Amino acid sequence: MSETTARKAKVKMSEADWRARLSEEEYYVTRKKGTERAFTGKYHDSKVKGRYLCKCCGEPLFHSNTKYDSGSGWPSFFKPIEENAVEEHSDNSLFMRRTEVVCARCDAHLGHVFPDGPRPTGLRYCINSAALDLDEDI
């Protein structure tokens, strides 16, 4: 089994275990598909270099060299750290058609992706800070 295959094995935990592991806001965002208020998350304007990891399972999701200021109030990235780090699902809630982004390893809700980002991808992964941890480059 390759490292990528092993790392992508799904993480499954009970709701009680997720609640014990996460803060109330982290649980709301990642397990209940919530959204933090714009401009309130700890990473929305961060310039620190490093890898952004899934708050729930530690899976690397995005790198700071793909982060940019979209003006949206949430951390924005133009591509995931690896093509298979995240999964995308149709989201028709709130009377809108959007594309939800989840962690491929634990299905944590991260945010949404929109087709209005910068080159080279033209994508804007709009991600909740509460769904992320930053592993700083030293």
Q: Which two tokens stand for residue 99?
A: 């594309």
13: buried, middle or exposed (CB in 10 Å: 19+, 13-18, 0-12)?
A: middle
1: buried, middle or exposed (CB in 10 Å: 19+, 13-18, 0-12)?
A: exposed
Query: CA–CA separation, 92 vs 99, rounded Å?
Result: 8
Given 54, 57, 103, 126, which residue is catalytic?
126
Single out the residue of 66, 138, 53, 43 nearest to residue 104, CA to CA: 53
Secondary structure letter of residue 50 according to DSSP: E
Whether 126 is catalytic is yes
Secondary structure letter of residue 21 according to DSSP: H
Active site (catalytic) residues: 126
